[in-house]
Amino acid sequence: MEYFVQQLINGLTLGAIYGLIAIGYTMVYGIIGMINFAHGDVFMIGAFVALISFLVLGIAGVTWLPLALLLVLLIAMFVTSAYGWAVERLAYRPLRGSFRLAPLISAIGMSIFLQNYVQIAQGARVKPLPPLIQGGFTFMEHGSFTVSLSYMQIIIVVLTLALMTAFSLLIARTALGRAQRACEQDRTMAALLGINVDRTISLTFVMGAALAAVAGMMFLLYYGVIDFFIGFLAGIKAFTAAVLGGIGSLPGAMLGGLLIGLIETFWSAYFTIEYKDVAAFSILVLVLIFRPSGLLGRPEVEKV
C-alpha cells in the first residue's frame, strides 16, 4: 500500500507537468485547428532560460530563494512568450490560408530548428542544477519504506491547478476569452464583427508558451537535469495527453496529462520500464477507439 501511494504521488506530479504543456497544445488547436508541434521545444527553451537565469542571478548575488524563483519565472515566461509569438508569426500566419498540411510541416520544421539551435548554443550534454527546494513530509512508515511528499511536488501540483483554473476563467469570462471562442467557431465571422483575429491567435500562442515556461521551470527544479531533447519527448507525451483528454478542452488536457503521468509511473513501478511508453499509447488507442473525441472532448458538428 505504501509503495502504491508513493507511485501515486510521483505520477500526479509528472502528470501535472504534462498537463501544463498539453494546455498549450489544446488552446492553439481550439482556435486554428492545428497542432503546434514546436510547442514541446518551447517548453525545452523555457527550461534552459530558467537554468541560465538561476546562474545569472546567483552571480548577481540574488540569494533569497523566493525572490529568485519569482524573477526566474517571470524571465522564463517573457522569453518563451517571445518564442511562441515568433513561431506563430513565422510558421503559421503565412500559411494560414494554405492547405492544412502546410502549417503542420512548417511546425515540424520549426521544432527541428529549435532543437538544433539549442544544441549548438548550449551543447548536447545534460545541464545539471543543484536542488534548490528541499524537504517535505514523510508518512505511512512501514519497515524501511517511507512515503514521502516533497515541497517541490506540492508546489507543482498546486501551481498547475491554480494556472488551469485561472486560464479557464480567462477564457470563460474575459473579452480575450470571448474573442478566442469566437475565432474557434468561425474566424471569418469573428473578423467581420470587429475581432482582431491575428492578434487573438498570436496572444493564444503567447499564453501557451508562457504555460510551457512554467512547466519547463518546474521540470528543471524537480528533476535537476535538462538537455536539448527533453522538448521532443515531453511534447509528444503532452500531445498524447491533449488527445486523450479531448483536444480543445482545457480540463481534458489536464485530465489527460494526469492519466499519462499515472500510467507511466505505475507501469514503470510494477512492470518493465522499457514499455511504459507502449502502455501509455495503448491506452490512448483504446480510448480513441471507443470515444474518438477523447474523454472530455465534444464531437465536431458540421453545419450545412
pLDDT in tens, 229-243: 999 888 888 888 888
DSSP letter assigned to residue 91? I
Nearest to 138, CA basis, from 129, 125, 121, 151? 151
- Which one is predicted more confidently, 299 or 132? 132
Per-residue confidence (pLDDT) for residue 302, from 0 to 100: 52
Q: Is the pLDDT of residue 304 over 60?
A: no
- Euclidean distance between CA atoms 157 and 218, whole angstroms: 10
Grid coordinates given for 257: 496529462
Q: How far is 87 from 38, CA to CA, in rounded Å? A: 8
Cα–Cα distances in Å, from 283 out to 11, 14, 159, 179, 276?
16, 17, 27, 35, 11
pLDDT above 60 for 303 = no
Cell numbers placing 282: 495503448
Cell readout for 127 is 545541464
Q: Which of 174-178, 210-214, 280-284 has the lowest mean pLDDT?
A: 280-284
- pLDDT in the model for residue 158: 92
Say how far apart CA 174 and CA 207 lie, in whole Å: 14
| Model pTM score | 0.91
Residue 165 has pLDDT above 80, yes or no: yes
Question: By three-state DSSP, how is residue 146 classified?
Answer: strand
The predicted pLDDT at position 18 comes to: 92
Q: What is the pLDDT of residues 108-134, one digit of tens each?
A: 899 999 999 999 999 889 999 988 888
**At what angle are helices 39-60 and 230-245 packed, to 10 degrees?**
130
CA 70 – CA 135 distance, rounded (Å): 20
What's the confidence (pLDDT) of residue 210? 92
- Taking residues 254-264, what's their average pLDDT? 91
pLDDT higher than 80, residue 6 = yes
| Mean pLDDT, residues 97-106 taken together | 80
Q: Is 225 helix (H, G, I), strand (E, B) or coil?
A: strand
Cell 480510448, residue located: 287
Q: Which helix (H) or strand (E) holds 226?
A: strand 225-226
Q: List, for residues 140-153, the tens digit of each pLDDT value.
A: 777 777 888 999 99
Residues 195-220, buried b or exposed e (16+ Cβ, 10 A)? Answer: bebeebbbbbbbbbbbbbbbbbbbbb
Q: Is 124 helix (H, G, I), strand (E, B) or coil?
A: coil
Any idea how long the chain is? 304
* Residue 269: predicted pLDDT: 87
d(CA 140, CA 3) in angstroms, rounded, equals 10
Q: How far apart are CA 69 and CA 150, in angstroms?
A: 17
pLDDT at 74: 94
Mean pLDDT score across all residues of the chain: 87
Residue 225 has pLDDT above 90, yes or no: yes
Does residue 41 surpass a pLDDT of 90? yes
For the chain, domains (ranges, CATH) are 2-290 (1.10.3470)
Q: What is the pLDDT of residues 44-101, one digit of tens each?
A: 999 999 999 999 999 998 888 999 999 999 999 999 999 999 998 988 888 877 777 8
- Range 77-80, long-range pairs (CB < 8 A, 24+ positions): 77/46, 77/210, 77/213, 77/214, 79/45, 79/46, 79/49, 79/213, 80/42, 80/43, 80/45, 80/46, 80/49, 80/209, 80/210, 80/212, 80/213, 80/216
